Structure 1
Amino acid sequence: MISPDNVELSLRNLSLDNTSNCSGSDNEESKILKWNLPLKDLYRLACNFYKEKSGKAIHLSYEDNLKLVAFTQQAAHGPLDPAKAPPLGMFDVIGKDRRIAWQHLGTITKLQAMEGFIDLLDRLCPLFKPTVEAIKKDREEKVRQAQAEEAHRREQLEKEKEKLVELKRIEDERNREEIQRRQLQDALNQQTYHQFKEYAEKQFPGNPEQQAVLIRQLQNEHYHQYMQQLQAQVASNYSQLRATGDNEVDFSGNQLLDQNASSKEVGQLEYKEQCDSDEESGEYAVINPANMWTKPDVKLFKQEVTSGKGDGVIRVGHGDIITVRVPTHEGGSCLFWEFATDNYDIGFGVYFEWGKPVTTEVSVHVSESDEDDDTLEDDEAVCADDLECGGQQQHKQYNNTSSSSPLANSNPISIIVPIYRRECQTEVYAGSHSYPGEGTYLLKFDNSYSLWRSKTLYYKVFYTR
């Protein structure tokens, strides 16, 4: 039996901070804490602990069990109302004892009953509070992990936003650069279109499609040469300014680009006057355009060259330029050439070096892309100037002083066919040109644009009367 003294003792141990507000709303009840946990949550943990451990980890007396059950009834239903309680059987001793224990709790509130259950269980079972502390730490750890994950997620979102902003900025910059590049290329194309068209009509008469392809290739080459000249000029200006210690100049090249674009027409007029003066001088004969055509029998042509019926087979390494030097012959009046490659295209052009040849032998010179830089730059300059003047003969001297290069000389060189890439892996490219005078033809096979692939070249050269 539960005595009133024991009930009063358990009630005196209740330590509610706000007993006057215990019957308030759920929000107010949720603010009542015990052991730094909401009272209702702690009460649920206590009930679960009591159900799981009773008779296993903890062994309570009959009187203690009656007290705990009475607290749970008071917390669930409030004070006992005998009129509403169901009748008990004559032999239900345990039921009668539980009802008496419940009745001895008097009119304490549900929250007071919850706290009384917790305090009594803590006093009877020393393992209860450490278990609650462990559960509380686990919850705090989960909350901490959730907060850390949330912070990490927000950080990732911020990084993604910053990355998207940076990508958008880069894309806008590329679009702006692409627009500027197209505007510049369109301006250059408009200036050179008529000259390139005249040249293409001479190379492919009556074939508008091939003319359009040639014009487009020449315009692209002219644009790249123009940009290389700009870069070289920017680098030169930068070196000069570093030498003079001038740090107040913008090295971005934008101002230089604008100046070059604005002065393009002046440069063209000056160079055209130079071309006209060269033609009027009459020192060299005017060079007629070359005739060029293609043949479909690539396999047969390669077999003929390989069997020794042609001049030979050359391996053009990646980044290399092959120059086949063919002197004019006393008994000839016209030069013919044919060539093809395996699998890939190659650049091809024909130059003419004025002056009496020192030998009648055909020779082959191999140079890497970074070898004879001055000579190659002069080639590009001559090529661009020649095309701008309508494909007529230009007499420009190479200033290369390298004694190791066979091309090192002081003789003027004219462009007959500008260098551009030919799809010679699918058909044989052939051509002819009438001797303009005494000199040496330079057949250039350019693989400098290829960084990885070497090309196998099959070629034939011969002259006719």
Structure 2
Amino acid sequence: MAVDGENVELIDRKLSRTSIISDVGSMKIEAEDELSIEDKHSVQKWGFKVRDLYKLALKFYKEKEGKAVHLSYDDKLKLVAYTQQVVQGPFNPDKQPELGVLDVIGRDRRVAWQALGSMSQVDAQLAFVNRLQELCPLFDSFVEANKRDCEEKKRQLQNERERQIVEAERKALEEELLKQQQAEQARQEYQRRQIQDALNQQTFTQFKAYAEQQYPDNPDQQGVLIRQLQDQHYHQYMQQLLQRPLPNNNMPNHRTTTDLATADDNEKSQLLSNGTSADADESEDSQEYSPISPANMWTRKDIREFKDAIRREGGDSIIKVGHGETVTVRVPTHEDGTCLFWEFATDSYDLGFGVFFEWSKPESSQVSVHISESEDDDEEEDEEDDDEETLGDDLERGSGQDGTVGVGGGGGRSSVSRAPMSIVVPVYRRDCQEEVYAGSHTYPGAGVYLLKFDNSYSLWRSKTLYYRVYYTR
């Protein structure tokens, strides 16, 4: 039967209307599901179940017909019949509308559909696929390309799932670490408040007395100054605590905040309980000496006013510390005092500063100044190192384990006897050319304070020192 080109086009449009096209990217090979015999054979041969393979065949026909696929009228009728069998099942004339007298294509299509008889939906789908494969060999390559594409998408999906699992685990670990850090920060903040409260209780009387001297008629300004001194004292104390060498280690070891939170728990507990921090375990022979409490250190910005006041006071409060020299100001404890205060500044350059306490009975209450060359300091350091390595019990050798070392009295060294000495403030270089450095220390007992102004590290520059020392009750 001859059919013109218009009728062929009508068949193509009918085939497109009865086709159900789905996105190939959404197809998945569901190996976990229970497959029918037809699906198993289809998966084994093509890599797809019958339903997905049929959708691929419809997609291929729609895209390639007229381009890579050229079918005859009879072949198109058969393919349309297969699609009708898949969508509506076997032909039932009672359910079909009557055709017009001139609808030749409709009658041909129904004849082809009726010829399929009771063919099942799966068989109709397979018949469509097989017929298309016979008519166009390129269909095999099309299915293989889609198979590889599906496998690649499945692989990417699996990789994405694995990545999400790893990412979820990483986020969970980060959250756990963040919680631990927050807990540790909260613990350190709690300890910091405890330490600062203990230090404030210890120094409040001293700072209040100093603030009353600076601002006699201004309680508000006194309170501001006291808070500033307390904050500076806390930071200075923590700095000295972090720089203190660890036990059983002769080399310097700067501790981190974490080390401080663990290794110094005993020191913190002792500070919170009695307001003091022991430098080391006291030996039986040095128990007669009271433990040295930490000094209070702070700074002030009124350096110009301080220097002008020192110049007006006159006396020996202005000293020129030569290059390579160390000036030691010996301040005996006073019977009417309980606490020593000091203040100092320089003109243009920094200066080393430290405080020591000599456990010797003061012969007078006069303050004296002693100057020593760097060579003398080097020899004293060598002798102190030898004394630290010696673990004897002779107090004249400075063997106490509470931070005391043996030194000579006065400005020189004595070969006969040395009074034991405790370190109150280690010698560090201070930027005293920029601000006034001040501090205080409660008397640990009767003895002599040694305020050391160290310029031994400077080979060329001399420093002009302005200082003031006094005691309070």
Output the amino acid matched with 2:374.
S
Aligned residues, how many? Answer: 318
Moved more, 204-213 or 91-100: 91-100
Output the amino acid matched with 2:153.
K
Matched, 1:402 2:385: no
Query: After superposition, where does 1:216-295 map in structure 2 within 5 Å?
Result: 216-235=227-246, 237-239=248-250, 252-259=263-270, 261-262=272-273, 264=275
Matched, 1:366 2:346: no
Q: Give CA deviations for 1:283-340 in whole Å, capped at 9, x if unaligned.
A: xxxxxxxxx9989xx9xx9xxxxxxxx99xxxxxxxxxxxx997x99xx66979xxxx
Aligned to 2:187: 176
Q: Which of 1 and 2 has higher RCO (CA within 8 Å, sep 6+)?
A: 1
Matched, 1:110 2:110: no
Matched, 1:143 2:115: no
* Contact kept in structure 2, 1:66 and 1:98, CA below 8 Å: yes
Q: Give CA deviations for 1:158-183 in whole Å, capped at 9, x if unaligned.
A: 21221121111112111101111110
Cα distance change of structure 1 residues 352 and 88 upon mapping to structure 2, 3 Å threshold: same
3-state SS, counterpart of residue 249 of structure 2: helix
Distance in 2 separating the partners of 1:239 and 1:233: 11
Distance in 2 separating the partners of 1:37 and 1:219: 79
Distance in 2 separating the partners of 1:394 and 1:230: 33
3-state SS, counterpart of residue 227 of structure 2: helix
Output the amino acid matched with 2:229.
L
Query: Residue 222 of structure 2 is aligned with which of 202, 211, 215?
Result: 211
Aligned to 2:401: none
The two structures have a TM-score, normalised by structure 1, of 0.53
Aligned to 2:135: 124
Cα distance change of structure 1 residues 237 and 228 upon mapping to structure 2, 3 Å threshold: farther
Cα distance change of structure 1 residues 402 and 216 upon mapping to structure 2, 3 Å threshold: farther
* Contact kept in structure 1, 2:330 and 2:369, CA below 8 Å: no
1:139 Cα deviation from its structure 2 partner: 2.4
Aligned to 1:134: 145
Structure 2: gaps (5+ residues): 2-32, 254-260, 279-287, 293-299, 319-327, 333-345, 358-364, 381-408, 413-429, 436-450, 454-464, 468-473
Cα distance change of structure 1 residues 366 and 421 upon mapping to structure 2, 3 Å threshold: closer
Q: Give CA deviations for 1:105-153 in whole Å, capped at 9, x if unaligned.
A: 1111222211111111112111112212212322222232233223222
1:232 Cα deviation from its structure 2 partner: 4.6
Aligned to 1:71: 82
1:31 Cα deviation from its structure 2 partner: 9.4
Distance in 2 separating the partners of 1:212 and 1:50: 92
Distance in 2 separating the partners of 1:209 and 1:96: 109
Cα distance change of structure 1 residues 168 and 196 upon mapping to structure 2, 3 Å threshold: same
Distance in 1 separating the partners of 2:160 and 2:210: 69
Query: Residue 59 of structure 1 is aligned with which of 47, 51, 70?
Result: 70
Distance in 1 separating the partners of 2:263 and 2:138: 76
The two structures have a TM-score, normalised by structure 2, of 0.52
Q: Percent identity?
A: 41
Output the amino acid matched with 1:218.
L
Structure 1: gaps (5+ residues): 2-26, 243-249, 275-291, 302-309, 312-323, 337-350, 356-362, 383-392, 413-419, 426-441, 445-458
Cα distance change of structure 1 residues 400 and 192 upon mapping to structure 2, 3 Å threshold: farther
Q: Give CA deviations for 1:10-34 in whole Å, capped at 9, x if unaligned.
A: xxxxxxxxxxxxxxxxx98999622
